[in-house]
Structure 1
Amino acid sequence: MKTSAIKWPRLLLAATGVLALLAGCDFGKPKPPPPTTYISVDWSALPAVSDADLMAGYTAWNSACQRLAKDATWGATCAAAAQVPAQPAAVRAFLQNQLQVYSLRSGQDQDRGLITGYYEPVYPGSLARDDQHTVPVLGVPDDLIVVALDSVYPELKGKRLRGRLDGHVLRPYDDASAINQKPVNAPTLAWLTNPMDLQFLQIQGSGRIQLDSGRQLRIGYADQNGWPYKPVGRWLVEQGLLKKEEVSMGKIRDWATANPARVPELLASNPSYVFFSTRPDSNEGPRGSLNVPLTAGYSVAIDRKVIPLGSLLWLNTTSPDGKTIVRPVAAQDTGGAIAGEVRADLFWGTGDKAGELAGNMKQQGQIWLLWPKGAQPPKVQ
């Protein structure tokens, strides 16, 4: 059915009913955290940063300025940034003249939160199915309906309802278990060899598929089935199969390799399912939610209900091997698992080395927001 043929008033009434139904059900989604607050502080409150990290973080943020040129908050600051010489002293002066510093605090007035990592994986695959390549990487299904709820209810800004039409009724789309068990009306972009590769590809949101020809097919997030994300690592902990402090991508993969018969059960514990689209071949980083290439080590995914996309942040944390990380970073991506309070996901880059760092990163850290002077700090939704 073509979208133009849908009777929207009836569809929106159905969507409201589905929303109420979903609101009344517990899908294992964690309770929302207490409100996050911004506390204005002086520039001297920021930990010192090297010139190299300053320039790399500033350059990553500045790379999105073309997209922010018409933004009511960032437009003037981005225009001024175009005139700043690429020199540490000039950049420091520009930032201090243009931006106010806010410490990000949790609802309990804590200035520390969880900093994790993500990366762009590379997995072996094929454009055609064969005995070895049996796991499909799906594009967006033809019957997936997406309703922007804020078009009717402004208080639901950014909320979308996803489902499929059953006659004139909009019903929730299939969860991951159902999609894995029966075909859906969606294009297959490629075929992988391991179902855990697909799960990690969906968690990261983008990746590359190494073809036998030597080419790497690039794919990125296109849409999602509408079900909340639940980490498969949580299921392993709930089943007593791993301890909470042991959970990492490596440990999860090790368990799956040792227990292939239970992998479908593991995957079914996460009802969320991500659909992909192909991206142009390029050596640039994957594009995040802001649609600019991510910069390894200097782009982060955030909860956009707390931190607006395009913001410049100051991060103080450690890497999994204990090295201190202090640098400006650009809020250029989002993720279903990145929610609430003092929270960010640091992009580590492409390939196995980046994946090892990302998979093991569960660090405590502090975040400061650098916000244009004279503008009201963002309102936490």
Structure 2
Amino acid sequence: MSHALLGAIVMAVFAMTLPTKAAEPTHELLRFDELSGWKEDDHQAALTAFLETCGDVDGEDWSALCSLAKTQPSARTFFELFFRPVLIKDGNPALFTGYFEPELSGSMTRTGRYRYPLYRRPPEAQGLWLSRRQIEESNALQGRGLEICWVDDPVEVFFLQIQGSGRIRLTNGEILRVGYGGANGHTYQSIGQELVRRGVYRAHQVSAQVIQNWVRRNPVDGVELLRHNPSYVFFRRLRDLPEEKGPLGAMNRSVTPMRTVAVDPNYVPLGAPIWVEKRGSGAFNRLMIAQDTGSAIKGAQRADIFYGSGDGAGREAGKVRDPGRMVVLLPIQVAFQLVPEDAG
């Protein structure tokens, strides 16, 4: 999606607070001793995640640092010597949410249980195409050989489209990986916000699990609720992605649980290290890497944390909606171009 994880990507399903119009971004140079908990983090884990994508970051400064990182230097020393922390603000408060890679049960053939398909993108779905309602009511995708596989729950299909990628555990025990394969061009509309608008729930009550349960309890109204979101996501099969690796992010490289964040690339360069100070339940301070984007991830202080794969990761990700602070680590020369040293 750019989310390869739509957007991530993205538990925007229950995002209730829309950012105000962003102000011109400001940049403040910080010291590493101003980063809460910096010394206590596992910097080697962050360096390993950094290496996954650093070769794809444009710019001579980044290229040189990636080459150096491949020599396996002392991780903390590497970041402290060659980067500077830059706090970027746009007038909106920091907001952290979580996303994950779902795991669904499925089959390569349609059966009585497995009858809800995951579709490849049809060739005519370019730009703005049919809405979710139009696709479903006209059966525009059926009988055309576009099915990748079949799963057993239409609600899971919807949420897989929100996440943009996932694992399908087939009846023979094999794992099929799918990733974002395009969309119909319609803007995502939050069904969580719609439930709040209808008075079904209050904003603080809404989570992905709550929405799923409500749709299953109300099958007729549930279908209509899902169609409130006109966006429809198609998939592609990921044949060369090992089972032990994370799903592909916006940089077309595997993301790492609890070390990858999705960011707004208008403010944060993809591939950059990000110091995350997440508050609220399960607070932590951690060096992560900006390796993904998401349709709901907008703003200089907005990030989506990748929690991993499967139901457990989904439960954890679905609870995250927390304040805090994120600080971008930029190569020294890049940082000083944004913030002259005597202004930091």
TM-score bracket for the superposition, by shorter chain length: 0.7 to 0.9
Aligned residue in 2 for 1:215: 174
Percent of aligned pairs with the same amino acid: 33
Aligned to 1:33, the other structure's residue is in SS state coil
Q: Indicate yes or no: 2:101 matched with 1:140.
A: no
Aligned residue in 2 for 1:309: 270
Q: Indicate yes or no: 2:94 matched with 1:113.
A: yes
Q: Matched residues in 2 for 1:252 and 1:33: separation?
A: 30
Quote how far apart the aligned CAs of 1:130 are. Answer: 2.7
Assess if the C-alpha contact under 8 Å between 1:371 and 1:377 holds in 2.
no
Aligned to 2:231, the other structure's residue is in SS state coil
Write the deviation string for residues 177-234 of structure 1: whole angstroms up to 9, x where unpaired. Answer: 1112223356111112222101110111110112111112110112111111122111
CA 1:362/1:128 → structure 2, altered by over 3 Å: closer, same or farther? same
Q: Matched residues in 1 for 2:285 and 2:250: separation?
A: 24
Aligned residue in 2 for 1:96: 80
Quote how far apart the aligned CAs of 1:274 are. Answer: 1.0
Quote how far apart the aligned CAs of 1:66 are. Answer: 2.7
Aligned to 2:324, the other structure's residue is in SS state strand
Q: Matched residues in 1 for 2:35 and 2:20: separation?
A: 31
Q: Indicate yes or no: 2:53 matched with 1:64.
A: yes
Quote how far apart the aligned CAs of 1:52 are. Answer: 5.4
Assess if the C-alpha contact under 8 Å between 1:113 and 1:343 holds in 2.
yes
Aligned residue in 2 for 1:268: 227
Aligned residue in 2 for 1:355: 314
Matches within 5 A, 1:18-167: 32-49=21-38, 53-68=42-57, 71-85=59-73, 90-107=74-91, 112-145=93-126, 162=127
TM-score by length of 1: 0.78
Q: Structure 1 residues 31-40 or 239-248, which shifts more?
A: 31-40
Q: Structure 1 residues 279-288 or 294-303, which shifts more?
A: 279-288
CA 1:133/1:61 → structure 2, altered by over 3 Å: closer, same or farther? same
Matches within 5 A, 1:275-354: 275-280=234-239, 281-318=242-279, 322-354=281-313
Assess if the C-alpha contact under 8 Å between 2:104 and 2:151 holds in 1.
yes
- Residue identity matched to 2:139: P
Aligned to 1:306, the other structure's residue is in SS state coil
Quote how far apart the aligned CAs of 1:285 are. Answer: 0.6
Q: Matched residues in 2 for 1:125 and 1:66: separation?
A: 35
Quote how far apart the aligned CAs of 1:38 are. Answer: 2.2
CA 1:252/1:330 → structure 2, altered by over 3 Å: closer, same or farther? same
CA 1:31/1:178 → structure 2, altered by over 3 Å: closer, same or farther? farther
- Residue identity matched to 1:141: P
Aligned to 2:150, the other structure's residue is in SS state strand
Quote how far apart the aligned CAs of 1:135 are. Answer: 1.8
Q: Following TM superposition, where does structure 1 have runs of at least 4 consecutive aligned residues deviating by more than 6 angstroms?
A: none
Instruction: State the structure with more CA Rg.
Output: 1
Query: Which residue of 118, 130, 151 corresponds with 1:192?
Result: 151
Q: Matched residues in 1 for 2:33 and 2:204: separation?
A: 35
Q: Matched residues in 1 for 2:222 and 2:338: separation?
A: 45
CA 1:50/1:248 → structure 2, altered by over 3 Å: closer, same or farther? farther
Q: How many residues matched?
A: 315
Q: Provide structure 2 residue ranges, at least 5 long, that are not aligned to the other structure.
A: 1-17, 340-344
Q: Matched residues in 2 for 1:31 and 1:315: separation?
A: 22
Aligned residue in 1 for 2:5: none
Write the deviation string for residues 58-77 of structure 1: whole angstroms up to 9, x where unpaired. Answer: 21112212323x53441122
The answer to which structure, 1 or 2, has the higher relative contact order (CA under 8 A, 6+ apart) is 2
Q: Matched residues in 2 for 1:290 and 1:345: separation?
A: 15
CA RMSD of aligned residues (A): 2.0
Q: Matched residues in 1 for 2:138 and 2:150: separation?
A: 16
Q: Structure 1 residues 342-351 or 273-282, which shifts more?
A: 273-282
TM-score by length of 2: 0.86
Assess if the C-alpha contact under 8 Å between 2:44 and 2:76 holds in 1.
no
